[in-house]
């Protein structure tokens, strides 16, 4: 059992505790979830249980934590507990997907046959067999997250702590994850998941809302007015005609014969499975990749929000980059994090900061990759609403996302699969 009693965490440099008065138990065979607002303290609880605070994140941990009767600072929690970090890129260190999944067991001296059996089983479960020889740095965010999950499965730990394991997963991979978690709990694994995914929280034996303190419940979106897709465009500002692209250093064509368009003030959504080519289409429009075929016509200034916020906000504070946060439509939220150093931002706060940077960068064609991943329901709504408002004032927005709420405000949605556009929905 993992026992947490009166947990309080104060990060170095902070006046206030990030969490306090946290009490709960996680038994073998139980699935529990931590939901709550961005910055509420979910990740902090997972870090405290695994001893990462203070070993890696300086701070003070008060209260009492036991893992099967032993304090994480006396016994190495990694023997029993696997923590899947919120940002899969930090976790994944292998060369290829296969090596990533295999290396923890190789290092533990497990025999080759057992390793390969377990690795292949996990790669099959997460739909990664076709990617086993792919270098991890070539993976899409969703495939990277699946790789991290497969590696966790291979280890077969007694307790699994998962920090937002479904934030980049496509619909199918999400259902696979739900059924795996259910199977693991039946097999006696104790699972604690920090998540904004209400469906996942509903599967749990018990859910908590973490907002510095801990209370029973699921943090959900409040009712919102319905937004309708903008359709005010007449001027064509973006057109791709039968475009194919490949990444530098690779001779593999990643997207094939892509034709799509956007008029001024429209919201165009790219949907589809992990690894389908959505991000590559955005990179192509942004001019980061050379087209091998076809034509890209852009009338305006494209600006890209990458799925990984660190790419636009690698260090410092938001106040070093944006002079006046008043120009951003969700100023209130931005003010709260404006002066915080980047390392002290929660996952959701970091994404909000990256969105603010892109919105302030003066483009009029916004290319947004997974802008709502990892955002709590309130912040997600602020972002959805601001995308809608920006379109109304003439910005053109192309967004790649698994978020079904974005489909509601899209003028048209393209289904991207295996590097091709399979279908168009809406005003096509
Ligand atoms: N290394 C750190 N140093 C200082 N403060 C931190 C650090 N990491 C997080 N914090 C602060 O602690 C609080 C809790 O953050 P935490 O990451 O635990 O939230 P969270 O619930 O996981 O949020 P999210 O849903 O965005 O992932 C926030 O105010 C955050 O800014
Ligand atoms: Mg978090």
pLDDT digits (tens, 9 = 90+) for 20-33: 999 999 999 999 99
Q: Are residues 248 and 351 in the same domain?
A: yes
In the predicted model, is pLDDT for residue 232 greater than 70?
Answer: no
In the predicted model, is pLDDT for residue 73 greater than 90?
Answer: no
Q: Within a domain: residue 225?
A: no
Q: What is the pTM assigned to this prediction?
A: 0.94
Instruction: Give the β-pairing of 302-305 and 365-369.
Output: parallel
Nearest-atom number in ligand 1 for the CA of 346 is 17
Q: Which of 188, 216, 244 is the last residue of a domain?
A: 216
Q: Are residues 9 and 101 in the same domain?
A: yes
Q: Are residues 322 and 276 in the same domain?
A: yes
Nearest-atom number in ligand 1 for the CA of 46 is 18
Q: Within a domain: residue 226?
A: no
Residues 6+ apart with CB under 8 A from 419: 253, 254, 255, 256, 276, 277, 280
> For residue 346, how far is its CA from the centre of ligand 1 (angstroms)?
4
For residue 80, the Cα-to-chain-centroid distance in whole angstroms is 25
Average pLDDT, the chain: 93
Give me the pLDDT at residue 260, please.
97
pLDDT bucket at 253, cuts 50 / 70 / 90: confident
pLDDT (average), residues 182-199: 95
Domain span at 260 = 236-426
Q: Are residues 50 and 155 in the same domain?
A: yes
- Confirm or reject: Cβ of 344 under 6 Å from ligand 1: yes
In the predicted model, is pLDDT for residue 19 greater than 70?
Answer: yes
Q: Are residues 50 and 111 in the same domain?
A: yes
Domain count for the chain? 2
Q: What is the pLDDT of residues 276-293, one digit of tens each?
A: 999 999 999 999 998 999
What gap in Å lies between CA 310 and CA 345, rounded to an integer? 12
Between CA 375 and CA 382, with CA 378 as vertex, the angle to 5 degrees is 85
- Confirm or reject: Cβ of 372 under 6 Å from ligand 1: no
pLDDT (average), residues 34-45: 98
Whether 185 contacts 159, CB under 8 Å: no
- Confirm or reject: Cβ of 131 under 6 Å from ligand 1: no
Q: Residue 303: what are its φ and ψ, rounded to 5°?
A: -135, 135
Tokens 């923890």 correspond to what residue?
104
Integer angstrom CA distances of residue 377 from 54, 150, 218, 221, 366? 30, 28, 11, 5, 22
Q: Are residues 14 and 160 in the same domain?
A: yes
Give me the pLDDT at residue 78, please.
79
Q: Within a domain: residue 421?
A: yes
What is the four-CA torsion angle of 286, 369, 211, 149, rounded to 10 degrees?
-130
Q: What is the pLDDT of residues 351-403, one digit of tens each?
A: 999 999 999 888 999 999 999 999 999 999 999 999 999 999 999 999 999 99
Kindly state the DSSP code that residue 387 receives in the 8-state scheme. H
**Percent of the chain scoring above 90 in pLDDT:** 79
Q: Within a domain: residue 222?
A: no
Q: Within a domain: residue 247?
A: yes
Q: Are residues 13 and 115 in the same domain?
A: yes
Q: Within a domain: residue 228?
A: no
Q: Are residues 257 and 182 in the same domain?
A: no
Q: Are residues 358 and 411 in the same domain?
A: yes
Give me the pLDDT at residue 61, please.
96
Give me the pLDDT at residue 210, please.
98
Integer angstrom CA distances of residue 355 from 238, 322, 360, 379, 390? 21, 11, 9, 12, 13
- Confirm or reject: Cβ of 43 under 6 Å from ligand 1: yes
Q: Are residues 194 and 278 in the same domain?
A: no
In the predicted model, is pLDDT for residue 57 greater than 90?
Answer: yes
Q: Best mutation site among 39, 309, 354 for ligand 1, i.e. most ligand atoms within 8 A of its Cβ? A: 39
Q: Are residues 43 and 92 in the same domain?
A: yes
What gap in Å lies between CA 272 and CA 401, rounded to an integer? 8
Give me the pLDDT at residue 93, please.
84
Tokens 């050379």 correspond to what residue?
290
Kindly state the DSSP code that residue 204 receives in the 8-state scheme. S
Q: What is the pLDDT of residues 302-360, one digit of tens each?
A: 999 999 999 999 999 999 998 887 767 777 788 889 999 999 999 999 999 999 999 98
How many CB atoms are located within 10 Å of the residue 188 CB?
11
**Which ligand sits closest to the CA of 163?**
2
Q: Within a domain: residue 66?
A: yes
Give me the pLDDT at residue 89, please.
85
> Which residue would you say has higher pLDDT here, 325 or 189?
189
What gap in Å lies between CA 203 and CA 196, rounded to an integer? 13
Q: What is the pLDDT of residues 90-129, one digit of tens each?
A: 888 888 999 999 988 898 899 999 999 999 999 999 999 9
Q: Within a domain: residue 63?
A: yes
Q: Best mutation site among 41, 83, 88 for ligand 1, i.e. most ligand atoms within 8 A of its Cβ? A: 41
Q: Which of 184, 216, 248 is the last residue of a domain?
A: 216
Residues around the ion ligand 2 (C-beta < 5 A): 42-43, 86, 346-347
- Confirm or reject: Cβ of 18 under 6 Å from ligand 1: yes
Q: Are residues 244 and 171 in the same domain?
A: no
The closest alpha carbon to 37, from 213, 223, 165, 166, belongs to 213
Q: Which of 216, 250, 266 is the last residue of a domain?
A: 216
Burial class (CB in 10 A: 0-12, 13-18, 19+), 250: exposed
> Which residue would you say has higher pLDDT here, 302 or 231?
302
Give me the pLDDT at residue 290, please.
86
Nearest-atom number in ligand 1 for the CA of 53 is 1
The closest alpha carbon to 387, from 406, 370, 412, belongs to 406
Nearest-atom number in ligand 1 for the CA of 13 is 4
CATH of the domain at 144: 3.40.50.300
């Amino acid at each position: 059992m993992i026992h947490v009693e009166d947990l309080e965490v104060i990060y170095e440099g902070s006046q206030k505790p990030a969490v306090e008065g946290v009490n709960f138990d996680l038994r073998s065979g139980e699935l529990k979830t931590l939901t709550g607002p961005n910055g509420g303290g979910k990740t902090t609880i997972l870090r405290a249980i695994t001893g990462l605070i203070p070993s890696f994140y300086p701070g003070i941990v008060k209260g009492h934590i036991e893992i099967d009767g032993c304090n994480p600072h006396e016994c190495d929690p990694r023997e029993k507990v696997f923590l899947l970090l919120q940002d899969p890129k930090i976790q994944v260190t292998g060369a290829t997907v296969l090596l990533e999944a295999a290396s923890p067991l190789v290092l533990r001296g497990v025999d080759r046959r057992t390793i390969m059996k377990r690795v292949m089983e996990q790669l099959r479960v997460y739909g990664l067999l076709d990617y086993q020889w792919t270098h991890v740095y070539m993976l899409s965010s969703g495939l990277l997250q699946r790789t991290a999950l497969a590696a966790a499965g291979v280890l077969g730990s007694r307790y699994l702590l998962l920090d937002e394991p479904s934030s980049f997963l496509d619909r199918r991979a999400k259902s696979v994850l739900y059924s795996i978690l259910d199977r693991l709990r039946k097999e006696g694994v104790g699972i604690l998941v920090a998540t904004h995914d209400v469906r996942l929280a509903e599967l749990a034996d018990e859910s908590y809302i973490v907002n510095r303190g801990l209370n029973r419940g699921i943090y959900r979106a409040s009712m919102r007015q319905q937004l309708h897709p903008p359709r005010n465009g007449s001027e064509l500002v973006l057109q791709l005609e039968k475009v194919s692209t490949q990444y530098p250093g690779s001779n593999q064509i990643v997207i094939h014969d892509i034709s799509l368009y956007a008029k001024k003030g429209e919201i165009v959504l790219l949907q589809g499975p992990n690894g389908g080519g959505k991000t590559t289409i955005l990179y192509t429009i942004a001019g980061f990749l050379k087209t091998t075929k076809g034509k890209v016509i852009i009338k305006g200034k494209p600006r890209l929000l990458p799925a990984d916020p660190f790419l636009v906000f690698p260090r410092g504070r938001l106040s070093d980059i944006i002079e006046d946060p008043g120009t951003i439509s969700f100023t209130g939220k931005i003010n709260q994090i404006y002066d915080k150093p980047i390392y002290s931002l929660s996952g959701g706060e970091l994404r909000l900061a990256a969105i603010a940077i892109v919105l302030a960068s003066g483009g009029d064609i916004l290319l947004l990759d997974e802008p709502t991943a990892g955002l709590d329901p309130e912040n997600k709504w602020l972002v959805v609403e601001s995308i809608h408002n920006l379109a109304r004032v003439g910005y053109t927005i192309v967004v790649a996302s698994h978020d079904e709420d974005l489909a509601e405000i899209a003028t048209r949605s393209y289904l991207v699969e295996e590097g091709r556009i399979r279908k168009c929905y809406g005003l096509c």
